[in-house]
Chains A and B, each alone.
Chain A
Amino acid sequence: MTELVLQALWSGILTGSSYALIALGLALVFGTMNVINLAHGELVLLAAYVAYTCESAWGASPLLAIPAAIVIVCIATALTYGLVGRIRRDRELNSLLLTYGIGIMLTNGILLIWKADIRSTKSAWLQDAIVFGPLYSMRSELLFFAVSAALIAGLWWWLTRTWAGRAVRAVASNRDAAQLMGIDPHRVEFVSFLVAGLLAAFAGAAIFSVGVIQPGLGISLTIKAFIITVLAGMGSVPGLLVGALLLGLTESLTTTFFSSALQELAGMVLFLVVLFVLPNGLFGTRWRRAH
């Protein structure tokens, strides 16, 4: 019994690491630009399909596909940024609709190019089981957990130790003040979109290597990233990591003790619980208003 729980916890942590990458990308863009990119999940999926193509066309490991995925996804995010930037009025709302439209285009584009079949990696090396005591995992899961951890650490370093990263944080906390300090918010927005794309590319390769992909996956990834954001509460980056882990754990525990069909539902229920009980998320600042 404990073994089952431990295994579930272990799997959950591994899965959560990929979710963290997705959620961080979404949060980064939202922090600097106040825009929720509803097509974010589709970008991750795009990267996953690029990985698939690299593997099926050239037999290359999905890892090698990452550079290609980064390039393609970053081009897509740059285009998205260009379009979103052209919105003149009501940016918060119109950007939602615009990215929703972009998401539809991406999903259908993926459908057109790669058809509706479910794909997954054929690499035996990646699917190899690695065992630590009672804990079992696929090599791909471990690998990408390490990659995610490295990326998150890198992101933290970038945000806190480099001038570019500090500029991003400045714009995210107070756009006008940042401008007065000579920071160009447009460049910062562009950079945050690109970084989000970078994270999405890795996440996409991870998802392809670890599981199965199909065109409809995009929207559910976006929803999961959103659930994590709600779990974390507004403006809390460590909260995002905890939220991602929490979601991963919830899903794997549900799969272990109930059924895998319910795992998506479990995540949603978690979201509802937080919404009802802790509307500011686990780490959000408490509101003072009387309503």
Chain B
Amino acid sequence: MAARIAASFAFAVAAYALVPFAFSGNLYLMSMIVAALTIGGIALAWALLGNLGGLVSFGHAAFFGVGSYASALLVMKAGWPIGISLLAGGACAALAAVLMLPALRLRGPYFALAVLAYAHIFRIVATEWKGLTNGAGGIGNIPRFPVVLGYDFSSKTGAYWIVLSLVLAFALIYAGIRRSHLGLALRAMHDSEDATRAVGVNSTLAKASMLFLSAFMTGMMGAFNAHYINFLEPDYAFSGLWTMLPIVAAIFGGYRTITGPLIGAVVVYLLDQLVFKAMMPIGHQIVLGALLGAMILFAPQGLQSIFARRLPRLRMTSASGDA
């Protein structure tokens, strides 16, 4: 237990202090890291929905886009402060998820596709509803993060700290739920929803709440991104990349764990931008597709399972172990 606390502390110091100290000179690398963490946050949210909610989604870009626009518009047109707008962005994304509730009735693959269709719908609505979103022209000059206590959070390092904090908060929430009775019930639902209902679990509500949570987290990532990039347009905010990259990241890193999607995001994104893109400026994501396919065929549990095969598995008690 003490070792765990020490490790967590060391990790926190490394993440918050060492990384900026080492890389803040290299703006390009820092922006890559911020982007990777943004993807990581979405990947975490996606994995949460898959693991706890038992639902695979191919449309998380919808939540990302809704969160982006919601936050940007609330700040620019309604004068809300940026921090609250991040939460509001998440809330709006969760509201968008309410529209997806009827899709919960659909079986697995059908639900995944339904969410994909929703993502398309939102993109088209954002493009056509010019009065609200300025359509394809996009929204520019979105306010940056403010100066707080003398520190300018619109700097790369500031943005890094914000997204890092958000992602760590998400990870803690995810871990908390997994350990709770709700987490147990959610796991049980995958085997037999009837059995869980027979003991009083409102399975529909449980699944729905995971959907809302996942949407909320993704929406916050979108909101963060809007104030970081300071520009939005429908094809960007609702781009399929915000769905695809997190999925590849989560599968690569191991979607059954909490750290897997995050590690996967950093590795996959950096590889894609620094290596594949350099080799193939156009169409470099073909490698990501191949990577996803390869992972599904050879290591569906992700990287960590490849390593675990070499190391002896410790038998963990179910209450604290992986899903």
Q: Is the CB of B286 within 8 A of A108?
A: yes
**Interface residues in B98-137 (C-beta closer than 8 Å to A):** 99, 102-103, 105-106, 108-110, 112-114, 116-118, 120-121, 124-125, 127-128
Q: Which residues of B contact A101 (CB under 8 A)?
A: 248, 288-293, 296
Bound-state CA distance A275–B105 (Å) is 9
Q: Which of B63-71, B277-285, B304-312 contacts A (4 or more CB under 8 A)?
A: B277-285
Q: Is the CB of B56 within 8 A of A265?
A: no
Expressed in whole angstroms, the minimum distance between the Cβ of A191 and any Cβ of chain B is 21
Q: Which residues of B contact A262 (CB under 8 A)?
A: 124, 128
Expressed in whole angstroms, the minimum distance between the Cβ of B135 and any Cβ of chain A is 10
Q: Which residues of A contact B44 (CB under 8 A)?
A: none
B-side interface mostly? helix
Q: Which residues of B contact A86 (CB under 8 A)?
A: 297
Expressed in whole angstroms, the minimum distance between the Cβ of B300 and any Cβ of chain A is 6
Neighbour of B117 across the interface among A38, A93, A223, CB < 8 A = A223
Bound-state CA distance A222–B286 (Å) is 19
Please, which residue of chain B has its CB at the minimum distance from the CB of A104? Answer: B289
Bound-state CA distance A193–B218 (Å) is 36
Q: Which residues of A contact B296 (CB under 8 A)?
A: 87, 94, 97-98, 101
Bound-state CA distance A251–B145 (Å) is 43
Q: Is the CB of A271 within 8 A of B117?
A: yes
A92 and B128 in contact, given A87-B296, A97-B296 (Cβ under 8 angstroms): no
Q: Is the CB of A83 within 8 A of B297?
A: yes
Please, which residue of chain B has its CB at the minimum distance from the CB of A106? Answer: B289
Q: Which residues of B contact A97 (CB under 8 A)?
A: 56, 247, 251, 292, 296
Q: Is the CB of B128 within 8 A of A105?
A: no
Neighbour of B121 across the interface among A94, A96, A230, A272, CB < 8 A = A272
**Interface residues in B214-252 (C-beta closer than 8 Å to A):** 240, 244, 247-248, 251
Q: Counting CB contacts under 8 A, is B58 at the interface?
A: yes
Q: Which residues of B contact A227 (CB under 8 A)?
A: 117
Q: Counting CB contacts under 8 A, is A213 at the interface?
A: no
Q: Counting CB contacts under 8 A, is A118 at the interface?
A: no
Expressed in whole angstroms, the minimum distance between the Cβ of B116 and any Cβ of chain A is 6
Q: Counting CB contacts under 8 A, is B204 at the interface?
A: yes
Bound-state CA distance A104–B96 (Å) is 26
Q: Is the CB of A108 within 8 A of B284?
A: yes
Q: Is the CB of A83 within 8 A of B300?
A: no
A268 and B293 in contact, given A100-B58, A105-B286 (Cβ under 8 angstroms): no
Bound-state CA distance A222–B59 (Å) is 14
Q: Which residues of B contact A124 (CB under 8 A)?
A: none
Q: Is the CB of B124 within 8 A of A264?
A: yes
| B 179-221 to A, binary, CB cutoff 8 A, 1 in contact else 0 | 0000000000000000000000000100000000000000000
Bound-state CA distance A104–B300 (Å) is 18
Neighbour of A93 across the interface among B108, B120, B121, B293, CB < 8 A = B108
Q: Which residues of A contact B121 (CB under 8 A)?
A: 265, 268-269, 272
Q: Counting CB contacts under 8 A, is A135 at the interface?
A: no
Q: Is the CB of A109 within 8 A of B286?
A: yes
Q: Is the CB of B297 within 8 A of A109?
A: no
Q: Is the CB of B240 within 8 A of A219?
A: yes
Q: Is the CB of B113 within 8 A of A104?
A: no
Q: Is the CB of A111 within 8 A of B283?
A: yes
Neighbour of A261 across the interface among B102, B109, B128, CB < 8 A = B128
Q: Which residues of A contact B284 (CB under 8 A)?
A: 108
A108 and B297 in contact, given A92-B109, A97-B251, A276-B102 (Cβ under 8 angstroms): no
Please, which residue of chain A has its CB at the minimum distance from the CB of B110? Answer: A230
Q: Is the CB of A104 within 8 A of B117?
A: no
Bound-state CA distance A109–B290 (Å) is 11
Bound-state CA distance A268–B121 (Å) is 6
Q: Which residues of B contact A10 (CB under 8 A)?
A: none
Q: Counting CB contacts under 8 A, is A67 at the interface?
A: no
A98 and B293 in contact, given A230-B110, A268-B121 (Cβ under 8 angstroms): yes
Bound-state CA distance A96–B106 (Å) is 15
A265 and B280 in contact, given A90-B300, A104-B289 (Cβ under 8 angstroms): no
Expressed in whole angstroms, the minimum distance between the Cβ of B305 and any Cβ of chain A is 12
**Interface residues in A93-144 (C-beta closer than 8 Å to B):** 93-94, 96-98, 100-109, 111-112, 115-116
Sample of 19 further A-B pairs with CB below 8 A, known A36-B109, A92-B108, A94-B300 = A83-B293, A89-B300, A94-B296, A96-B58, A96-B108, A98-B296, A98-B297, A102-B289, A105-B286, A105-B290, A226-B114, A230-B114, A261-B127, A262-B124, A262-B128, A268-B117, A272-B99, A272-B121, A275-B103
Q: 29 A-B contacts, Cβ less than 8 Å apart?
A: A36-B109, A94-B300, A98-B293, A98-B297, A100-B244, A101-B291, A105-B289, A106-B289, A107-B289, A108-B283, A108-B285, A108-B286, A109-B286, A111-B282, A116-B282, A220-B120, A223-B116, A223-B120, A226-B117, A262-B124, A268-B117, A268-B118, A268-B120, A268-B121, A268-B124, A275-B103, A275-B106, A275-B114, A279-B105
Could you list which residues of chain A lie within 8 angstroms of chain B, going by C-beta atoms? 36, 38, 83, 86-87, 89-90, 92-94, 96-98, 100-109, 111-112, 115-116, 219-220, 222-223, 226-227, 230, 261-262, 264-265, 268-269, 271-272, 275-276, 279, 291
Could you list which residues of chain B lie within 8 angstroms of chain A, going by C-beta atoms? 56, 58, 99, 102-103, 105-106, 108-110, 112-114, 116-118, 120-121, 124-125, 127-128, 204, 240, 244, 247-248, 251, 280, 282-286, 288-293, 296-297, 300
